Amino acid sequence: MTDIKTRYRYGEPDSKGRTPVHVDDAAEPAGHVRKLGRSSSPWWAEGAGDGGAGTNHARKYEAAERLVRMTDARASTAAEIERRRARRTQAPAGWRIASWTEIEREGYRQVRPVHRAPYVYGGEGERYPDTFADQPVALTRVTTLHNGCVVVSGTEPGDRPPYVLLMDPAHVELGALVREQEPRYVAPGECMGCEQDGPLYQAGTRLGCATCTAADLGVSPADLPAAVDDDGAVWWSVGDTVRRRGELPDEDAEPETGRVIEIETAIVERSRRIAVDFGDRWPVRWQPAGLAPVS
């Protein structure tokens, strides 16, 4: 273990009597020390960027060693921040991280949401996934609110109460876990296996019906995803400006427009409902197919 006394060196004192302290041969000083008066602890240690905050010490070397320990603590904190940040893209074996937009679009039924999402550092900013749901949750509904928060609801295995999770925007950004081999709903057609007509799912290079695909994956057909099927040409997001489809401007007026303030995706029913605020009335709920973008 390196002796702390060999890890720092003093620089030249400045006009204010402050002596810079360089740690581990760094070009920039970790802080400075200076003597204040004749008290029992006259030596003052102040880290770079501490804005005047520091600590008193009886000896000069004690003040310098304080800056070494402070440098180590900051390096440890920075390493922990990077470790937490890296976990945003790390998934357990057999799983991958999917965004909530992908989950809604594809209609994934079996997901493992992030159950604990602390901040990476401090009390605001980005979060990281500390724990996921132990068992997959069978999603039934995903609702995006006007403030960017998302409420997901569903059921858990066993005799448990309904599952509900409220996430703030930073929590939402983390997504949730889905199986690496999660199939995708493609379209109605003929199964390559049993040759029966019905909804087809793609798992890898294989295209099959719900029964065959579920059997191949060892899951229940009810667990297979089903993409939203509402004839909507646009995948709306909260904050979008819309108009009711079919409304055309006359010579003297602009078409009535509104802002999307809430979106509810029903996973099982494969549908969405869009709440629109037109400004002079209560929010109105619409099917996506009844709305058009404002050009």
Mean pLDDT of the chain: 88
Percent of the chain scoring above 90 in pLDDT: 55
The answer to whether residues 263 and 274 touch, using CB atoms and an 8 Å cutoff, is yes
pLDDT value for 281: 67
Q: Backbone dihedral region of 52: left (phi > 0), alpha (psi from -120 to 50 degrees) or beta?
A: left
Taking residues 210-216, report their average pLDDT.
86
Interstrand relation of 55-57 and 95-98 (parallel, antiparallel or unpaired): unpaired
pLDDT(247) > 80:
no
Q: What is the pLDDT of residues 77-113, one digit of tens each?
A: 999 999 999 999 999 999 999 999 999 998 999 999 9
pLDDT(253) > 60:
no
Instruction: State pTM to two decimals.
Output: 0.80
Residue type for 78, please? A
Interstrand relation of 19-23 and 206-209 (parallel, antiparallel or unpaired): unpaired
* Residues 6 or more apart in contact with residue 256 via CB below 8 angstroms: 243, 244, 247, 278
pLDDT(280) > 80:
no
pLDDT(293) > 90:
no
**pLDDT band per the 50, 70, 90 thresholds, residue 198:** confident
The answer to whether residues 191 and 209 touch, using CB atoms and an 8 Å cutoff, is yes
* Tokens (6 digits) for 211: 């029964």
pLDDT(142) > 90:
yes
Query: Which of these ranges, 52-56, 123-127, 223-227, has the smallest mean pLDDT?
Result: 223-227
The answer to whether residues 152 and 165 touch, using CB atoms and an 8 Å cutoff, is yes
Q: What is the pLDDT of residues 123-140, one digit of tens each?
A: 888 999 999 999 999 999
